[in-house]
Amino acid sequence: MRIEKIDVEDYEAVYKAHLEVSPEKENIAIIAIYDTSLGPALGGTRLWNYDTEEDALEDVKRLAKGMAYKAAAADLPLGGGKAVIMADPEEKGEELFDEYGKAVDELDGKYITAEDVNTVTKDMAIVSRHTDHVVGLEEGLGDPSPITAKGVYHGIIASLKEHEDYDADNLEGLTVLIQGLGKVGQTLAEMLLEDGANVKGSDVDEEALEMMVEKGVEPVDIEDVYSEECDVFAPCALGGVINDETIDELKADIIAGAANNQLERREHAEELKEKGIIYAPDYVINAGGLLAVYNELQGNTLEKAKKDAEKIENRLFQMFEEAKEKDITPLKAADIYAERRMEEAE
């Protein structure tokens, strides 16, 4: 394993690690640390088959900055970082995570990792052979996805409270469309179904979709997901789904989901406001997973993590109220709050 620091403007530190999986094969990992004013940078490791290193770098920069704002908005003593590994998810193996664990340890605690897209608790267990700077382990609080889903559920409740046409105390008859039925989307769907909501779902994984159809989710074709009638649209897959092409197709009153970086451009928050669509800032509503791994770091219980995720409802509602009072978007209100915390900590 060989690691080098690369110069990236506006980021505290970015590292490129050469993971020597075998004498014939090397994978690249990029670890980006956006800010550590409030504490060490904590963020998951995403494994993706990127076309180029430039694509990987842009993705990890975007994600690391989002984690800094997420931690600040959640009132946590943490900074923001993220890592990506350039690899085919179908070919990941033990050697890859052995090498990656050595890379994380080289940073001496400036960055703490966890699972993310295409990485799971058993992968982090391999990482933990080489570093203590890893969370989301089975012997800790385990997979943080259920806590993320719980936070999103309470974020939806806050959004319903903000919208005059809905009753947040009674979800019967409410229609929620979940885009992406992975671990978070599945748990969110089950919670909403239990409360009597009508749940629609879409996913590229036909098996995952079929499993949730058997539990009562109404399937929606991928190409129809933006134009489908619903009250709440919950993006729970990858980012950039609210963009110039999709924004005019939306038929939802509320956008509240778990995906990171849902808006392709920040200007889309203004467009949603003009259309009368309530947008729950993604890094506020999806902070449950971060709250879970922070509680693991502190040696707290799963119940404490769940209680912290429930607080997302009140935090988000306060941001909605401030946005309304100042005639700004909820995203801008969240940014102001997070930036103020980081600046005060410097």
| DSSP code per residue over 225-270 | TTTS--SEEEE-SSS--BSTTTTTT---SEE--S-SS-BSSTHHHH
Q: What is the DSSP letter of 116?
A: -
CA-to-CA distance for 1 and 68, rounded, in angstroms?
27
Comparing CA positions, the residue from 202, 229, 199 lying closest to residue 215 is 199
- Position 339, amino acid: E
Residue with tokens 């005019």: 248
Q: Which of 70, 82, 110, 332 is catalytic?
A: 82
CA-to-CA distance for 163 and 116, rounded, in angstroms?
32
Q: What is the largest CA-CA distance in the chain?
A: 62
CA-to-CA distance for 130 and 44, rounded, in angstroms?
17
* Helix, coil or strand: residue 142: coil
Q: Are 152 and 256 in contact (CB under 8 A)?
A: yes
CA-to-CA distance for 205 and 6, rounded, in angstroms?
36
CA-to-CA distance for 159 and 51, rounded, in angstroms?
37
Give CA torsion, residues 197, 164, 275, 311, to 10 deg: -70
CA-to-CA distance for 159 and 279, rounded, in angstroms?
8
82 tagged catalytic? yes
> What is the β-pairing status of strands 79-86 and 25-35?
antiparallel
Q: What is the DSSP letter of 166?
A: -
Which residues belong to the active site? 82
